[in-house]
Structure 1
Amino acid sequence: MQHNQLEKIKNGKGFIAALDQSGGSTPKALAAYGVSEDAFANKKEMFDLVHEMRTRIITSPAFDSDFILGAILFEQTMDSKIEGMYTGDYLAEKKGIVPFLKVDKGLDAESDGVQLMKPITDLDETLKRATEHHIFGTKMRSVIKEANPEGIKAVVDQQFKVGKQISAAGLVPIIEPEVDINSTEKEKCEELLKAEILYQLDHLSEDEPVMLKLTIPTQTNLYKEFIDHPKVVRVVALSGGYSTDVANEKLKANEGLIASFSRALSQDLNVNQTDQEFNAALKEAVESIYDASI
């Protein structure tokens, strides 16, 4: 773990860009970008197209380290190149932006009001490759839909168990137990979640720092304790399906919470835009999310 990257993520001004839509969500991400499903015949062509989209975002002058601290990549993106360099290296060396990797394999079926992560069978191998590609940290997502204490405990236990494996490999895990913004018990879910996370944080050792990626809470500043916690490098917020404007508005109300948005970052980008139009749209999104984060 590089000290200057840790310092940037811990204290830098800005936000973390999520560029990690994977297998299931890639067609949706491409469709939103104006590339319909008849543009690709198979998964390889689909991933090539999404890599072109991500390359266009990352190489844009609007994708700037003055505003963006880090970027979360999908495995295929990490293994692909931009201008002859692996994406993680390109981000770190050319852009001064800290690379993260999404390591989960998607969600299991809902049980006890939550969706746990599917087992990550090749995690050690992935972490080894991530280290070779100068990746700083990882991200993994579970989802909470109901205020079920057993379910929420299971989500947090699983997240921190995998997190410890990631810490042991020398990377910083982003723990992401998302609370569904459409849950009728959202606020209650968040109270239960907070208690479980605090319990886990207090049992981490000195060399197991984590980041937290959480849904913007219903109760403003609910997660302040995490932001001040010595084991927490940074607390970032997911947009969770809110539009950019709504997500930014909610984020501004929470002191010390910064964005890690994916849809809100790319919602106004289109494959048919000229470079000038594309860069202008991206710049507007980047600056609005940055303002909400600081």
Structure 2
Amino acid sequence: MSIEQLAETAQAMVAPGKGIIAIDESGATCAKRFAGVGIENTEENRRRYRELLLTTPKLSDYISGAILFDETIRQSTSDGVPFAKYMSEHGMIPGIKVDKGTHNLAGFPGEVVTEGLDGLRARLEEYYKLGARFAKWRAVINIGEDIPSGTCIDANTHALARYAALCQEQGLVPMVEPEVIMDGSHDLDTCYEVTEVTLRSLFASLYEHSVMLEGTILKASMVVPGTTSGEDVGYDEVAAATLQCLKSTVPATLPGIVFLSGGQSDEAATAHLNAMNQMGPNPWPLSFSYGRAMQAAALKLWSQDLVNNFARAQQTVYERARDNGLAALGQWKQAA
């Protein structure tokens, strides 16, 4: 795939008023989510749940694509249509999570590095044949006493850059996700500093590995105080800090930035995105790639009656997509 085609796909991923739904939970995470609402964690229940999300009527009005898990990209709808094919036919771009999760960074207590580069080229080739047109790799940066270290940040951004280069070689748009974790007692300023250093390291690594930014999407965490910091900040403050951090680190050639919800409430994730877009115009489209913030309400509703609540749960997914689609334009209004 040429750089023009990669750029075209990347631009379609952040089309005005559209974002990405993340349904790439690993088996363990899915088991935890299901256990939380009392759904038996079987392959068929997982398939049915992913079908609920992907076949939501009119979903493509606000959703440009979905990040799938390895199991999901190999599954089909109840009618036997492979999910990736169903998505393409309904105006959505299939994506795939390709990292192998985080593992302790040897010699650096409390820090992790994402693994999965071994054999990645062959996996990407297979995913392309299965219909994927973009991929995702998540790095995790924890904030704590004396962490993150420069070693941890560089190890993770180096891996992100190698992954991104391999994606583009196979015709897939890389979504690079360096998540600065919310957990902790750190304040907003500390999150800002860590996010800034991480993004600087990331774009330096992408440059060193000849990754074409025009065919790359950044999945970013917002600049927020730690969950146990006790610091009370408003939506506008978070939006302003996040924007300032991005403007000082992210090249304007990037086609777009999508945010992760990262443990924020559904409403906060939407309100923060909306505030940032109201502060525009910005150098790049700012949209969403939410997982839990798109699904939690629907999963809870579906769990109460797997047969009769299917359509009602889909309506909830549609409403969350619509709210976030409006926020991606700065046009969302909080319910009175």
Task: Give the TM-score, by structure 2 length.
Answer: 0.77
Query: Within 5 A, what are the aligned runs for 1:1-294?
Result: 1=1, 2=5, 5-32=9-36, 34-36=37-39, 39-40=40-41, 46-62=42-58, 64-82=59-77, 83-93=79-89, 95-110=90-105, 111=108, 113-146=110-143, 147-183=148-184, 184=186, 185-203=190-208, 205=210, 207=212, 209-218=215-224, 219-221=241-243, 222-224=245-247, 229-230=252-253, 232-255=254-277, 256-269=285-298, 270-271=302-303, 272=305, 274-294=309-329
Runs of 4+ in 1 over 6 A off after TM superposition: none
Query: Is the CA contact 1:16–1:261 (under 8 Å) kept in the aligned structure 2?
Result: yes
SS in 1 for 2:256: strand
* CA–CA distance in structure 1, aligned partners of residues 96 and 48 of structure 2: 18
SS where residue 34 of structure 2 aligns?
helix
1:144-178: CA deviations, max 9, x gaps?
01332221121111111121111111111111111
Indicate the SS of the match to 1:260: strand
Rounded to whole Å, the distance in 1 between the matches of 2:104 and 2:82 is: 34
Aligned residues with identical type, % of pairs: 25
Contact 2:98 2:116 in 1 (8 A): no
**Residue pair 2:10, 2:216 contacting (<8 A) in 1 also:** no
CA contact (8 A) 1:220 1:253 kept: no
> Which consecutive unaligned segments of at least 5 residues does structure 2 have?
225-240, 278-284, 330-336
Q: Deviations over 1:115-150 (max 9, x none)?
A: 211234332222121111221110011110133222
TM superposition shift of 1:202:
3.9
The change in CA–CA distance for 1:28 and 1:65 in structure 2 (over 3 A counts) is same
Aligned length: 283
| C-alpha contact (below 8 Å) 2:134/2:172 kept by paired residues | yes
Partner of 2:229 in structure 1?
none
Mapped contact 1:174–1:212 kept (Cα < 8 A): yes
1:16–1:73 Cα change, 3 Å:
same
Give the gaps of 5 or more residues in structure 1: 41-45
